[in-house]
Amino acid sequence: MMDENDDGARVGLWVVIGIITLLLFGLIGGLAIRSMHAKQPAAKPVAAAAAAADVLLDAPLSGEVVGRLFFELGKAELPADATVALTPAIQALADHPAKKLVLAGFHDPSGDAVVNAELAKNRAKAVRAALSAQGADATRLLIRKPEQTAQDGPADEARRVEIRLVD
């Protein structure tokens, strides 16, 4: 088919063989990398834990109150004394390793109920984040659905998060 003097054909044949070899190595390498990534645990457990952490308990208030934080009007940022106020809750978790903390945010009936409930929930989330930052196990910190206070109560009572120790 090829004679000894046909160098151009020989070079062309080697180029084709080289290209096919590179394609095969690329395909095999890509499959190997893909299989290595498939064997690594996905980030879904972290996302699932975060989503589960935002599930709100819909149960009656119970348990011993181990802390209260009072917030400014319309704000979900922790007050300046938050670290001091959270210390008894951290100690309660340490003293009772089988128990959990339920964080219940409160709001008053004035204004938009949906906005108020979201603010109360965000306040409870801020308390949860602060407790976690101080070393509390996030799986032991539960958030209760926002609770509406009576209209005739003290104004600061409607802007609080209660921390309760429960079984």
2 and 19 co-located in one domain: yes
3: confidence class by pLDDT, cuts 50, 70, 90: low
On whether the pTM is more than 0.85, the answer is: no
Structure tokens that stand for 118 in this block: 């979201």
C-beta of residue 80 within 8 angstroms of C-beta of residue 130: no
- The DSSP code sequence of 5-55 is T-HHHHHHHHHHHHHHHHHHHHHHHHHHHHHHHHHSPPSHHHHHHHHHHTP
Clarify whether residues 52 and 19 are in a common domain. no
pLDDT value for 112:
86
Residues 108-130 pLDDT 10s: 888 888 998 899 999 999 999 99
**Whole-angstrom distance, CA of residue 155 vs CA of residue 78:** 17
Shared domain for 33 and 63, answered yes or no, is no
The enclosing domain of 86 has a CATH number of: 3.30.1330.60
Whole-angstrom distance, CA of residue 127 vs CA of residue 46: 20
Task: Tell me, yes or no, whether 9 and 54 share the same domain.
Answer: no
Domain that holds residue 11: 1-40
- One domain for residues 159 and 78: yes
Q: State whether 58 and 15 are in the same domain.
A: no
* Rounded distance between C-alpha atoms, residue 153 and residue 151, angstroms: 6
Considering the domain architecture, whether residues 88 and 8 belong to the same structural domain is answered as no
